[in-house]
Amino acid sequence: MTQHLTAPLTGTSDDAPGHGRGWWRDAVIYQVYPRSFADGNGDGMGDLDGVRRRLPHLAGLGVDAVWLSPFYASPQADAGYDVADYRAIDPMFGTLLDADALIRDAHELNLRIIVDLVPNHSSAEHEWFRRALREGPGSALRERYHFRPGKGADGELPPNDWESIFGGPAWTRTTDPDGAPGDWYLHLFAPEQPDFNWDHPAVADEFRSILRFWLDMGVDGFRVDVAHGLVKAAGLPDIGDAGQLRLLGANDGGMPFFDQDGVHEIYRQWRSILDEYPGERIAVAEAWTPTVERTANYVRSDELHQAFNFQYLGTSWDAAELREVIDASLAAMRPVGAPATWVLSNHDVTRHATRFASPPGIGTQTREPGDRALGLRRARAATLLMLALPGSAYLYQGEELGLPDVTDLPDEVRQDPSYFRADGQDGFRDGCRVPIPWTREGSSYGFGTGSSWLPQPDEWGALSVEAQTGDPGSTLELYRSALATRRRHPGLGAGPAVEWRDAPEGVLHLVRPGFACTVNTTDTAVRIDTPGRLLLASGALPESGGPVTELPADSTVWWAV
């Protein structure tokens, strides 16, 4: 067990599985994307029973917790991030009994379960929204969303100039029950995802009740979708031309629909609910903010426990940039006493093995396959760096296999709504959502007994769990060793800071208590004084044990010192 050097902890953990107090401060949390993890019933779509059967893989991998992307009743307009019923499982994923069995089995294996909560918007098929449309103007249920009359002589123009994150206007016009064109409603994402009005007490009440429902089911925490979006600036003001440009530049700062100070009151209320339950239940914010300092606001001691570090995810494979973002992240978290978090891949971005296969500046979504071998080398090195940092790390299913993005999916199989709303120029998220391979052979390489909802590349059998198990050079064995070492080694994951030591250009050398990590981000081998006893290396080391070590290009080494 690791030492915890940071702020006082809340909650109790005596009855919790796994680690003791503050388990989340250095936890390694594995994201399962249920559609694409394991198909238990052979219909081509992953499901909860499939996840349950594969839990031993996750326990053996050595992670502490599993975060599941949404499995709730949903028309799947945005792969389940459009929830029609927050207390029901979509039949394609199973039943509440399956969820119960999954949570129980996970706890038996000392794995915690974190579920996705989608509070910014519901599905257009949610009962409230359907009734709001059906009952027409004046329906009290319309107050729970953002309905507005349009501008222009006949209300034919959207109420303001906000653009949807998925492209096109953030407003859709409704048709009144008598067939006449009616009011517009706000959707920051797809039209099938109407935004809730969080100023309405019924919305806040409902989500407090949903939290309790899942806490009573035994989940250990929540990943809060679009946590920065719930509260909109009063009056829904236009953002103007300058605002549109800022939004295009992916700098969400100053937007009237993101990161409004009012969201924090919601999280203070949620924190008090989480703290009522035994076992240190947590919440992690998906909050895209312009700076790590703004992100830190979500994890003040009476708010959420963690927030994803998207600044880290967006950093290129560059020593100076990495060091800067690591220092800035740790510094931002220190005043609020929250652990830093680290993440390289998730279901919304191109897998890091593919991002790092192209020159810097490629962005977080690309369809460029780049240089595969280079990408994998860097991805392995980047993972070892991430797992050496103090705080909690998030892994995305399949990264432990070194999977690349599937960059050449044909249009007919794509499902990402943002791809279609951006006319195929953006929204390449299906590429990281292809079902993962478990076995060398089989119609979907062990994902299920039939085909898979997105086709897997022919060479994925060779990347399967089966093919990599026992191969000491495989990415899977590297992850297993890294996580086992992290559990064994008290310096890893703990504490609020890292200490940097001088290193050649393009090389990072960081020291933690009893431990050191060296990263060569350059494309040539670099000779360094051997800092200690070799624990683990992401690339083949020519020789070890001598006073000088030659670090291969794009590699990371862990040392006991």
Q: Of 72, 35, 58, 61, nearest to 106 (Cα)?
A: 58
3-state secondary structure of 321: helix
Q: Catalytic site residue 275? A: no
CA distance 305 to 221: 10
Q: Write down the least CB distance from residue 346 to ligand GLC, Å.
A: 7
Nearer residue to ligand GLC within complex by CB, 124 or 226: 226
How many Cβ atoms from other residues are within 10 Å of residue 167's Cβ?
17
CA distance 102 to 96: 10
Q: Write down the least CB distance from residue 429 to ligand GLC, Å.
A: 7
40: CB partners within 8 A, 6+ apart: 47, 48, 49, 50, 52, 53, 94, 448
Catalytic hit among 276, 302, 441, 523: 276
Q: Catalytic site residue 78? A: no
Nearer residue to ligand GLC within complex by CB, 52 or 126: 126
Nearer residue to ligand GLC within complex by CB, 69 or 556: 69
Nearer residue to ligand GLC within complex by CB, 81 or 198: 81
Nearer residue to ligand GLC within complex by CB, 57 or 121: 121
Nearer residue to ligand GLC within complex by CB, 365 or 475: 365
The token pair that represents 470 in the structure block = 């026992």
Residue nearest to ligand GLC as judged by C-beta position: 81
How many Cβ atoms from other residues are within 10 Å of residue 438's Cβ?
23
Q: What are phi and psi of 500, to 5 degrees?
A: -95, 140
Q: Write down the least CB distance from residue 151 to ligand GLC, Å.
A: 26
3-state secondary structure of 454: coil
Cβ atoms of residues 392 and 29 within 8 Å = yes
CA distance 473 to 111: 27
Nearer residue to ligand GLC within complex by CB, 25 or 414: 414
Instruction: Say what angle helices 372-387 and 475-488 make with each other, to 10 degrees.
Output: 10
Q: Write down the least CB distance from residue 122 to ligand GLC, Å.
A: 10
CB-based contacts of 209-215 (< 8 A; 24+ apart in sequence):
210/86, 210/87, 210/117, 211/117, 211/270, 211/273, 211/274, 212/273, 213/86, 213/87, 214/115, 214/117, 215/273, 215/274, 215/277, 215/281
Catalytic hit among 90, 98, 183, 225: 225
Residue 335's Cβ-count burial label (10 Å; 0-12, 13-18, 19+) is: exposed
3-state secondary structure of 501: strand
Q: Residue 548: enclosing H or E segment and its boundaries?
A: strand 548-551
177: CB partners within 8 A, 6+ apart: 134, 135, 136
Q: Which residue, chain included where needed, has tokens 């048709």?
A: 175
Chain residues binding ligand GLC by CB under 6 A are: 78, 81, 118, 189, 225-226, 286, 347-348
Q: Write down the least CB distance from residue 418 to ligand GLC, Å.
A: 7
Nearer residue to ligand GLC within complex by CB, 68 or 118: 118
At position 428, the amino acid (one-letter code) is F
Residues labelled catalytic: 225, 276
